[in-house]
Structure 1
């Protein structure tokens, strides 16, 4: 029987991406426990906090928050203590430590990391790049990409490309199909810039079968055939070995986890994970 984790309210004066990532990463450590996360972004005043507290009482929620304004952090903690709610301050302790180390006060500007700066435009450019060079639509993208993801169908190439794009990484992805020769561009770039993605055959079979059903097609189609999948994976591994690129087995890994491994490969030169 699946256990349920208390609702986690992710409270932020911006989008709440940091608190959400920490919450999901923490919850993922409890296998078999269903996690419910509610996002509460752009909290800018005490009245909004009062509303959140009232709703959190009904859910007996855990409050995970990233609030840069100290008055809002203190107010939220005060109200949570009054109502016997548990809280996790994700930014506060580090802000305090950095302030002590530098002798400076934080700027207390909400959403400062999302300002229209160079990093923001790099992310937008990376997203546009991922869309343009998705699924091998234009193999020339491999020549200009920061990373090229290769693998058979349904190995999460597109979701990973988009996730990496939000980190400012220009990712192109190219599908490997036995009946179609890989584009020449794939062999013209550094092998360290190419990452091969693979899955266990049974896991890929489950994913493809579900995909066919969602399209109203029969699960017996060759696309989901275990024999066909094994042949495709062997073909893909042969291409990856020829290129000499790192290979990641993404079986059972969330997109975020696989993306972290890809970034580790790019920055540290790891080979097989």
Structure 2
């Protein structure tokens, strides 16, 4: 099936992350249609906005924006009308609803969500911890971790750990290797949530084969043998069931979906700890 394309202009007075996520989440719902993204972050002056408007006029399309300065909003909207480019303030409906509910006026603060508050430093601390304790590099005190991921090679442990760290959770991961002794300290942890990651043998073999090809390595090993991989996964499942660790099958899950499931499990885990 042939694909069609449209220009999607994302104009932000901050990093543009909100717009990128909203735009992509919406655009992906339309099969056979792809967005050509034009991202304009940190647009906070009239001169910067005029440069953006020039690009919109050169490639008319859909315009999404998050600008809190009224003068910039008005200028962008007027330019979009002139060029025939539909535009929408992504945050305005949310601001209106909040204002109606809370009964207070908003204050224009570009990039306010990225202020250096306690939550920001918590994420940075979690990222540093996670990078330092990746792929079996367990911390001296495992109780410092919030989440511990275990699973055979190529079950997305590292990218999932990094995503969780960006949400403020100190995460470490441990690869399950055939015939390798399992760290006894992992069996004694109380504070961290231990989660097992699994996937189908076919999926693991496919990812491992691609990995070996990228490294120009030999493919004739147990590492990519379907039966050997199936046994690895079965042993991993038995280990998790024995210690009553929750299991997540990542075969058809994105990193974001896996992380979301872990975050839900972590909330329940913390509630149980508080109740003890």
TM-score, with normalisation over the residues of structure 2?
0.87
Which position in structure 1 is the counterpart of 2:70?
A: 70
Displacement of 1:2: 5.7
Work out whether residues 148 and 192 of structure 2, in 8 Å CA contact, stay in contact via their aligned partners in 1. Answer: no
- Partner-residue secondary structure (3-state), 2:145: coil
Q: CA deviation at 1:137?
A: 0.9
How much has 1:66 moved relative to structure 2? 2.1
Report which of the two structures shows the higher radius of gyration computed on alpha carbons. 2
Provide closer, same or farther for how the CA distance between residues 93 and 200 of structure 1 changes in structure 2, counting only shifts above 3 A.
Answer: same
Which stretches in structure 2 are left out of the alignment for 5+ residues?
A: 270-276
Pairwise CA RMSD of aligned residues? Answer: 2.3
**Structure 1 residues not aligned, in runs of 5+:** none
Residue 245 of structure 1 aligns with which residue? 245
Say whether 1:110 aligns with 2:110. Answer: yes
| TM-score, with length taken from structure 1 | 0.88
Whether the 8 Å CA contact 2:12–2:43 is kept in 1: the answer is: yes
Q: Where in structure 2 are the equivalents of 1:85-124 lying within 5 Å?
A: 85-124=85-124
Q: CA offsets, 1:186-220, max 9 Å, x none?
A: 21124981111111221222111111111112333
CA distance in 2, matches of 1:30, 1:230: 37
2:272 alignment counterpart = none
The 2-side partners of 1:144 and 1:23 are apart by: 37
Query: What's the CA shift for 1:32?
Result: 6.3
Runs of 4+ deviating beyond 4 Å: 30-36
* 1:258 maps to 2:253: no
The 1:90/1:239 distance shift into structure 2, 3 A limit, reads: same
Distance 2:183 2:97 in 1: 51
Partner residue, 1:158: 158
Change (3 A) 1:209 1:27: farther
Deviates more, 1:33-42 or 1:98-107: 33-42
Does 242-251 or 188-197 show the bigger shift? 188-197
Deviations 1:137-182 (A, max 9, x none): 1254532111111111111111111111111111111111122122
| Contact persistence 1:133–1:141 (CA under 8 A) | no
Q: Which segment drifts farther, 181-190 or 54-63?
A: 54-63
Deviation at 1:5, TM superposition (A): 4.5
SS in 1 for 2:181: coil
Counterpart-to-counterpart distance in 2, 1:51 and 1:32: 31
Cα distance in structure 1, aligned partners of 2:244 and 2:31: 35
Cα distance in structure 1, aligned partners of 2:38 and 2:198: 33
